[in-house]
Structures are given as C-alpha cells and as structure tokens.
Chains A and B, each alone.
Chain A
Amino acid sequence: MPRVLLIEDDPSVREGVELGLRRRGHEVLAAGTGEAGLGSLKTFLPDLVLLDLMLPGMNGVQVCRRIRETSQLPIIMLTARGDDFDVVVGLEAGADDYIVKPARTEVIEARIRAVLRRLADPAAARPGPEFHGELALDRAGLTAAKNGERLPLAPSELKLLLHLAASPEQVFSRQQLLESVWEHSYHGDARLVDACVRRLRQKLGDTSGPDAGPRYIQTVRGFGYRFGPL
C-alpha cells in the first residue's frame, strides 16, 4: 500500500483524511505545516504527497516547487473550488492533479491510485526502449530520455508523453486525455492537460522555435493534442 504524506493545516481535515486513508490501508504521515512536511520527506520516504494549498507560513505552491527541485514525487493538491488562481499556479509549479475539498475518502483514494497507476501493463510492454527522433521511451522501465540523457518527468508528464507517443499522429481531445491519463470523468478540468503539456514541452526542450511550433507535442487547434509527426 502506498505511503502518503499529508500536509494540511486544519486539524479536523488532517485527522479526517488521515483516518479515512489509514482505514483503507494506506500508511499516512500527517504534517501541519509545509516546513514540517518537507522535513519529513527524507525520513518517511512517501510514494505520494497530498498537499493543501492554503498553508500558514510556506504555502502549498512553494512547497510544491521545493519538492520538484529535487524529486518527481507524485503530488496531488487539496484545494477549495474557487481558488481557481491557486489551482493554475499549483499546476504550473508541477502538481500532477488536484482534489476539491470536501471530498470523500473514496474519491481521494481513487485519485491517488490513478496518479500512481502505471500507464501500461509493464508485462505487455516490449522490452527495450522505443525511439522517436531524439527521444527514447522505455515503457517497461517507465523512463524517457533525450539524446541519451534521462528526463526528470513527473508521473503525469510521463504518462501523458507515453499515451500520446503510443499512437503517433493521432489527435486526442483534452477530455479524452483527462479520462485516460488522469482517470478523471470526461468533464474534468482541461487546464490540467494544458498545464501538463506546457511543463512537458519545457522539459523536452520542445518549445516553439522561430520557424515552427513544438515538434513532439503538437497542438491541433480546436481539437486537442497529438504526438508528431516528427
């Protein structure tokens, strides 16, 4: 069962979520501040961080950035709907997904599982990497490399890249990507996809050049995104 680090300042939410997840078999460490949470990363070694955005002192977005500096640990933000701006900033800072409070434990757990789930069955994946231009994608080892250099991709970024690259030149709508990569309902928040694409392009060095748009993750106006053609 995954080890979850919960960073939440409100005691009742902290206790409720901790209790709910623990009942479902998760190992949970709850921290009341961002500083405390960061401090316990090294000792607790969580598989995933549940991060409240509104924290006293160091806020959630800052904590998220700090974690991303050193690790690609899955991060799910806890937010109140209406903190729309915070959601966007949090996604830009590298969060993989977000949950709107209040939420039932089953919802929280479903999101945790979705973020942690490997995209494809590793057993079914071909051994060895597949090559797309300068990119080498290893579906079994869940790694991506560019020019032989391993790319530090967060789970959502890696999953999105693998999903798009599995069907090169096929256009996926944002809603379809939300369903298959994030396992959200069809009517999820398309900003998740857009923010993830931006982060992914940055890490791939795939920003639009002077002559053409991005090479790997291409925007198809009015429809969505596709991988290639290279």
Chain B
Amino acid sequence: MRLPVRRALRLGLRTRLIAAFLLVAAVSAVTTAALTYQSARSAILQQTQDQAVEQFREQIANQHFGLPPSTAALKDVSQALARAGKPRPWIVFAEYGSLRASSTMRPTSTVITDDLRSQTHANTHASFQRVVQDGTPYLTIGMPVMFDQYGHQQRSGVYLYAVMDLRPEGVTIQAMVSAAKNGALPALAVAVVPALLAARSVLRPVRDLRRAASSMGKGRLDTRIEVKGSDELADLAWTFNESAEELERSVEELQKAEARARRFASDVSHELRTPLAGMLAVTEVLDEDADGLDPDTARAVRLISAETGKLATLVEDLMEISRFDAKAAELNADEVDVAETIRKTLQGRHWEDRVVTRLPDGVRAMIDPRRFDIVVANLVGNALRHGSEPVTVRLCPSSGGGPLVVEVADSGPGIDAAVLPHIFDRFFKADAARTRSAGSGLGLAITMENVRLHGGTVSAANGLDGGAVFRVELPTGLLAAAPAQAAR
C-alpha cells in the first residue's frame, strides 16, 4: 500500500507546481489586461471628449448671433455647427427661451438630460456628460453662447448642445478587450510549458533522491546521486551523497570488524583442534590407568579426561558456527524417509524409551540427513535436559505445498517469556546461576543455522499445557531438486 500513496504525493507535487504557475500567469495576465484596458479606455474617451469640447467651443465662437434669434436662425446656426463637427459629425440642438431648433428634423433631443441643461445654464463654460441610451454611448456637450459687453461676458440666453455618437470609440475599446482576451488565453497555454519544465526540473532530482534512498534501503550502500547545478536540490543531493559515503564507510568498518572477530573465533577453534586431537586420542589411556594411581592423581586424571571431551565438543560446535558465519556450510541433501531418520536419531542416542513419537510413515523429504540429525538431537536433548519427560516428537507431513513440520514438546515448566526471544542466541543461559550445562551453549544456535540452511524456520513457544514446544518448519520445495541430487 505504500507505493500508490507515494505516487499520489509525487503527482500532487507536480500538479501543485503547475497549478501555482498557471495561477500566477493568469493573475498577471488579467491584472495587466485590466489595467491596460482601464487606462486605454479613459485615454481614448478623454481625448475624444476634450477634442469635441474644444472644437465645439471654437466653432461657437466663430458664429454670429443676432439677438433675439428666430427659430430659423437657430436652425441655420445648428446646421452650420453640425457640418463643421470634428472629429466626427455631431447633431446640434439650440435652445433660446422656449425656442428649439436642431441640425436635424427633430427639434429636441431625447439624449440631453436635465442635469446637463441645468449645468449648462449655471456655467459659463462648456459642460458635458456621457449618456448611454438603448445601448449606444453618446457624448453630450452643452454650452451657453456668451457675448462681450464692456469687457464682461454676458449670457445671451442661447444654449447650444452637441450630441456625438461614441460608438466608434466603443468599438475601439471592445477590440482592445477582445485583444486582451485573445492574448491572455494563449499566454496561459504557453505558460504551461515553462510550468512543466520547471516541475520536471524540480521533480527529477526529487525522484532521483527517492530512488537512491530506496536503493540504499535495500542495502546497496554504494548508491550515489549525480549532482547537477548548484541549487538547493543539488545541495541536497550532495548532502545525501556525503551521508551515504559516511554510512558506507561505517558499515564497511563494522563488517570488517565483524569478519575479523569471526575469523578470530574460527582461527582459535582451528588452532585448538590440533592439540585436542592428540589429547582426545589418549583420554582412554588416562581413564584406563586412573584406577592404578593414588586417589588424588586419579581424580585429576579423570577430570582432565572428562573436560577434554567437553572441550572437543565445544570446539567442534564453534567450528560449525564459524562455518555458518563464513557461509561455508554446505547442504548435502538426500531424499530420506523422515520418520525413519528421526527414529535413527533417537536410537543412536538411546532415547527411544524416554521420548514419545508420533511419526507417520511414508513422509519423504529432501534434507541433509546429518544436519537434520543435529537439529532433532539438539532439540530432543535440550528438552530432556531442561524440560521434563515425557518428551514428544511429532511429525506433521506437509499438505498442499505447505512446510514439513517437526515439533518437539516437553512436559516441563515451559520457558520464561522474557527468555523466549533469546533462546536461540549463542551461549545464552536461561538460568544465570547455571554457568555451564552439559551442552556447549551453542546447540540451539547451531540448530537454527541448520534449519535456515534448509530454508526453513525454527521457533520456540510454550504449549497449552505448559511445556516448551520447539517447532521446525522445512520447505518441501526442496523435493523438486531430488532428481538432480540423487543422480550424482
């Protein structure tokens, strides 16, 4: 379940990076467009408006009014002004008291508001207002006609209004909006590319790092990452490499130290064996002649003889363990009848009367008979020494490709729960007061190594009725190798 979660996280990082990138791009595009639109729009309108107002004022100044004017005169003036409209033609409306005239057929406008009228009436200069009617924007300008009297500007009572259609400006502004819109979307699409590239450049080192860490976890301590560039990720890779190197160095040192310790144990056993071979060959001589010696010498001689035997066993066990440590232990498998093999083990040690067996016949397995003998003998010997009789050996044949199971149970008090995890440790003593037992202290450790060599497992537990139960499970897959082995 760990892999999918990790994958989702990695995709998440990529998605988040791209999303952030796009968000930034979108925000900048929209903001830029909005600001540009805003200032461009007001610049265009302002310019049009200023120009129109200026023109209107100039043109009005160039007209001559006879006061009081007639409707026809007002219409003439309006038409004259309308013709001169710049930058675009406009419609001109004139008002004098209740007289109304315009440059078109309709004398009054629906666009000019009362608001503009009152402003125009109040001011001496031009007033203007933008009006939208039926979706069409208009610029309306109102201006009182003044005349000069003794250096003072006086109202003539004539008010002129110009109405200009702002649609062309509206089109221009609309074009800008679409241009901004049309530009922003491709810009966002284009932004995806650098976003992907950026995500890749960030994610690749992360992926490399993950791969390297997982490779290290699997024990390949020589894993290193290629350091590219000089950014934070490169720093991280460099730190990783340095830590890996450090780790590799310490592990190597530990392994060397361990190998040295093991070789030392192996060498010591080897060196002890040669003198022991000589001593063990003559223990019989000591035993036989001890009777003829004076009592103290006899006891000393018998002690030496007995301890030489124990020492030989210990050295043999040490040698055996050393071979497992050096991975030099070989499995000489042969297909045997398991029940018969177990019975022979018990017979060879004269344990038949002390052990209850449940051994179904006809169970054949591919095992190393010598090593299997050691396994059974160690477990039964252990049960007889530390548990109490009856000791039961049970063989459960494998069914359906399952393992072959051998159980050795005693009727003693069982094993202390605190001791159970260490029971297969070398030289482990369940009872600290008992400094030396009949065994070498390596029996169960050797048992475990032998079972492991078969690809099996051995475990210790306490049975329902209290005694200790040792359970050996051997894979039956080894049977497949039978023809090749037997053909030798």
Binding site for B on A (CB under 8 A): 10, 12-17, 19-20, 23, 80-82, 84, 101-106, 108, 173-175, 185-191, 194, 219-224
Contact = CB atoms under 8 A, between A and B. Distances in A.
A189 B373 CA distance: 12
A108 B281 contact: yes
Contacts of A221: 482-483, 486-487
Nearest to A21: B281
A113 to B, nearest CB: 15
Interface string B325-351: 000101010111100110011011000
Given A101-B273, A186-B344, A190-B369, A17 B281 contact: yes
B400 interface: no
Given A102-B312, A186-B341, A221-B483, A191 B280 contact: no
A82 B483 contact: no
A223 B479 CA distance: 12
The main secondary structure of chain B at its interface with chain A is helix
B276 interface: yes
Contacts of A220: 486
Contact of B330 (A12, A19, A84, A186): A84
Contact of B369 (A20, A187, A219, A223): A187
B275 interface: yes
Given A221-B483, A222-B482, A175 B281 contact: no
Contact of A187 (B275, B373, B482): B373
Contacts of A224: 486
A68 B283 CA distance: 33
Given A23-B284, A82-B319, A186-B369, 8 more contacts: A12-B277, A16-B277, A20-B282, A103-B281, A104-B284, A105-B282, A187-B344, A194-B488
B288 interface: yes
Nearest to B345: A187
A20 B281 contact: yes
Interface string B290-329: 0000000000000000000100100110011001000010
Contacts of B422: none
10 cross-chain pairs, A with B, having the tightest CB-CB distances, nearest first: A12-B278, A16-B278, A16-B281, A186-B344, A102-B277, A187-B373, A20-B281, A101-B277, A102-B280, A187-B369
A104 B283 contact: yes
B344 A185 contact: yes
B285 interface: yes
A224 B364 CA distance: 13
A221 B335 CA distance: 9
A190 B332 contact: yes
Contacts of B280: 16, 102-104
A19 B482 contact: no
B270 interface: yes
A134 to B, nearest CB: 25
Nearest to A15: B278
Contact of B278 (A13, A186, A190, A191): A13
A13 B281 contact: yes
A80 B270 contact: yes
B486 A187 contact: no
B274 interface: yes
Given A17-B281, A23-B284, A102 B334 contact: no
Contacts of B93: none
**Residue of B276, B323, B334 contacting most chain A CB atoms (<10 Å):** B334
A20 B285 contact: yes
A20 B284 contact: yes
Contacts of A189: 332, 370
B372 interface: yes
B279 interface: yes
Nearest to A187: B373
Interface in B445-488: 482-483, 486-488
Best-surrounded residue of A20, A82, A104 (most CB of chain B within 10 A)? A82
Contacts of A174: 334
Nearest to B280: A102
Contacts of B309: 104
23 contacts: A10-B274, A12-B274, A15-B278, A19-B282, A80-B273, A81-B320, A82-B319, A84-B328, A102-B281, A102-B316, A103-B281, A104-B280, A104-B309, A173-B336, A173-B337, A185-B373, A186-B340, A186-B348, A221-B483, A221-B487, A222-B483, A223-B335, A223-B486
Contacts of B281: 13, 16-17, 19-20, 102-105, 108
> Which of B275, B282, B330, B332 has the most C-beta atoms of chain A within 10 angstroms of its own C-beta?
B282
Contacts of B282: 16, 19-20, 105
Contact of A105 (B284, B315, B320, B348): B284
Nearest to B285: A23
A130 to B, nearest CB: 28
